[in-house]
């Protein structure tokens, strides 16, 4: 059917239906969720999910820009300003809301997976050594928030990202998923809760020369 799919999502969906077991023969065992064909996949290739564009009258390397894939970086840039102007000390959080853009391979499921979306993010800053306890606190608190709204417990679950699939900034990531009943996979992410350690602040401090 020539539909593009993300190989990692196909493998996760397969494991979900087969007791967390990955296919013995790799992609050859996985059925296309759109047409039902098995073993007709092309070789996987790298795909940049950041949305890029050119600014200015000339399209060259100097005019290349990327639209932000998340809103969190604005929080880290403002961290020192917020901390000093509000006289805050950890633990405290900063939340924001704004547009994000991603070059999705397979947009679909109505408005669930789009290339332009409104994103709400919060970064919660804690003292060194307290990150794991606070991370678990927010996993529990966010889950309870959905239950308080009336979402049935059987329609919620936690997805623990395997260590080998963690983002470069993450020490641990847990998604809260809802049973949407989508084609190919019943479950979809409502939100992700990541322990980003001090990766972002350290990176901004290193490249800006500011003591964060």
39-49 confidence digits (pLDDT tens): 788 887 777 88
CA–CA distance, 130 with 148 (Å, rounded to integer): 27
Outline where DSSP puts E strands in the chain.
52-54, 64-66, 92-101, 116-125, 156-160, 172-182, 185-195
Closest by CA position to 97, among listed 126, 74, 66: 74
Q: Are 96 and 121 in contact (CB under 8 A)?
A: yes
11-30 confidence digits (pLDDT tens): 877 787 777 777 777 887 88
Phi, psi angle pair for 178, to nearest 5°: -120, 145
pTM, two decimals, is 0.71
- Could you tell me which residues come within 8 angstroms of residue 141 by beta carbon, excluding any fewer than 6 positions away? none
Domain ranges of the chain: 1-45, 47-70+90-123, 126-212
129-159 confidence digits (pLDDT tens): 999 999 999 999 999 999 999 999 999 999 9
């Amino acid at each position: 059917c020539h539909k593009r799919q993300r190989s990692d999502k196909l493998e996760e969906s397969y494991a979900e239906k087969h007791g967390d077991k990955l296919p013995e023969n790799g992609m050859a065992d996985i059925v296309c969720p759109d047409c039902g064909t098995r073993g007709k996949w092309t070789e996987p290739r790298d795909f940049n999910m950041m949305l890029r564009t050119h600014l200015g009258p000339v399209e060259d390397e100097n005019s290349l820009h990327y639209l932000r894939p998340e809103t969190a970086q604005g929080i880290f840039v403002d961290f020192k300003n917020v901390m000093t102007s509000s006289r805050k000390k950890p633990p405290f959080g900063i939340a924001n809301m704004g547009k994000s853009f991603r070059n999705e391979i397979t947009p679909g499921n109505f408005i669930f997976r789009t290339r332009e979306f409104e994103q709400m993010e919060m970064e919660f800053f804690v003292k060194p050594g307290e990150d794991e306890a606070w991370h678990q606190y927010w996993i529990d608190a966010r889950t309870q928030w959905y239950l308080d709204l009336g979402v049935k417990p059987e329609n919620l679950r936690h997805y623990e990202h395997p260590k080998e699939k963690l983002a470069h900034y993450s020490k641990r990531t847990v998604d809260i998923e809802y049973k949407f009943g989508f084609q190919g996979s019943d479950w979809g992410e409502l939100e992700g809760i990541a322990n980003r350690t001090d990766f972002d602040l350290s990176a901004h401090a290193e490249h800006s020369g500011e003591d964060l």
